[in-house]
Amino acid sequence: MRSDARVICALVFLSLTCLSCKEDLISPVLSGGIRGSVVTSDDNTALANVLITTNPATESVMTGPEGEFVFTDLAEGTYVVSAEKDGYERGNVSVTVRGGKEVRAIITMTRETSTKVVPAPKIVSPQDNSVEQGQTVILTWARGVVHPRDSIYYSLMVYDGGTSERVAHATDLRDTSFTLSGLRFGSTYFWQVIASNGEGAATNGDVWSFQIRRIPDNSILYTAYAGSSLEIFSTDSTLQNTLQLTFEPSRELWPRWNRQRSKIAFVSDREGAYNIYIMAADGSDVRRVTTLPIAGYQNNGVGYCWSPDAGWIFYGHYDKLYRVDQFGANMALIATAPAGRHFREIEWSQQYDRLVVHTVGANPYDSEIYLMNPDGSILKELMGNVPGSLGSPSFSIDGGSVLFTRDLSGYEAADGRQLNAHIFSISVDQKDTLDISQMKPDGTNDLFPRFSPDGAWVIFTNMPNDNSTFGAVWIMRRDGSARRRLVLSGLYPDWK
């Protein structure tokens, strides 16, 4: 029995030993990959720079130039692959990765139809229903609260309430301001801003309005530089209401009021040659009057006059004096200048039905001043050909005397330079002549004189005789006293 027990124990031990020596089994870990591309849903165009992610999460990648992407060393299982790009709806595809294999995935993306709400623009300035605005107004508005990454574009429309004309229409604005200039005095303007995100969503702002102040009662006109162009301005004797009336990249010269001070005639080379134009007192309603330009010896766009009733304009074209009505019609030849002379400056008496005309030859120092009837017949020579230049004749308010300029230096050169031009007053009967430039600074010229509306003052231009600077507009009493500068820079003044 004892022997049998030992045998049984040995067998049990041997069996346990064999079991303990049996090798453990370990399942292998398998991996695969995803190779894919992203295309548009409408035309299968490859999309680059698309963000690709997976769920369960792995790494994030961006598509390449051909829209391709790849994930490697992924555990077996099912993945949702997602694609994101601005302007497109999110794209997804589900794929199953199996061991040792690479699965293909194609993701299509649809262009995004915006459902974003674009906030309406808010007014900043000028405030709605504001009044007393100037002729130049800066419209300013504010954008509503949007995501910083959102791009907002603006369209602007502005209408003149007096004429119902659209005066401005701008699109695709990124700035929130817009400048309007040359607006009509006394008119009310309406404006609206439309905001959009460039993706089909847009919101209209409210309709706002502002009113331009009424035109000031300016009585003085002159030409001066505005930037690089010569423009026409109006002002009053206090200089509190100076207005720029023209805004052209050209030369705007010789502004003249009609007697009623309702219209302004001026000369411009905006269409090439110097022609006469007419505009309203606020610079609006510009129209060309002449077909033959102002031209002739020593004449670069100066010299014409209104008739007292404002129905006609007289002007010179070489040796011919023409008449044309204010609408540019009924043109007629009035007179022919003496041999070798061209018409230059002209003025019509407001008191008497007569003209004073300035004729000039090829030599700028050969000139005369005549009194003439409106039919072209000459009454008499008021000032003969004297040493030095003559110029700018104009009547006194009562028609009894004429202002003119004369260079007292006696200097004569081909370019017409003057060294010491004075303003004189001569009675039409030639009995009295007065030099009213006695207080003129040395080295300067007094030019282009005109009487004030009450006849007590003379407005004129004073400028250096070397033409080193632009002239300034001055005034003085008709006897030459109380001389003072009125406008720092200006030529060809008129005062009615």
- Give pLDDT, residue 10: 42
- Give pLDDT, residue 147: 60
- Digit-coded pLDDT (tens) for 306-327: 999 999 999 999 999 999 999 9
- Asked, as a colleague might, if the bond just before 56 is cis with ω within 30 of 0, I would say yes
Largest CA distance in the chain: 180
Pairing of strands 166-173, 130-133: unpaired
- Digit-coded pLDDT (tens) for 369-381: 999 999 999 989 9
- Digit-coded pLDDT (tens) for 99-145: 878 999 999 998 876 556 788 999 999 999 999 998 899 999 998 76
Contact indicator for 477, 430 with CB cutoff of 8 Å = no
Q: Round to whole Å and give the CA distance between 220 and 465.
A: 25
Residue 16 φ then ψ, to 5°:
-65, -40
- Give pLDDT, residue 19: 40
Residue 197 φ then ψ, to 5°:
-105, 5
- Give pLDDT, residue 468: 86
Q: Round to whole Å and give the CA distance between 241 and 74.
A: 81
pLDDT of 8 > 50? The answer is no
- Give pLDDT, residue 9: 38
The total number of residues shown for the chain amounts to 496
pLDDT of 16 > 60? The answer is no
Average pLDDT over residues 449-463: 97
Q: Which residue has the tokens 């033409």?
A: 467
- Digit-coded pLDDT (tens) for 404-454: 999 999 888 888 899 999 999 999 999 899 999 999 999 999 999 999 999
Report how far Cα 119 is from the mean position of its chain's Cα atoms: 30
- Digit-coded pLDDT (tens) for 210-219: 999 998 999 9
- Give pLDDT, residue 115: 56
- Give pLDDT, residue 25: 46
Mean residue pLDDT of the chain comes to 90
Q: Of 245, 230, 228, nearest to 490 (Cα)?
A: 230
User: What six digits make up the tokens of 97?
Assistant: 């990765």
pLDDT of 12 > 60? The answer is no
DSSP lists the bridge partners of residue 43 as none
- Digit-coded pLDDT (tens) for 18-59: 444 444 444 455 688 999 999 998 889 999 999 999 999 999
- Give pLDDT, residue 114: 54
The domains located in the chain, with CATH, are 31-109 (2.60.40.1120), 122-212 (2.60.40.10), 220-495 (2.120.10.30)
Average pLDDT over residues 234-254: 92
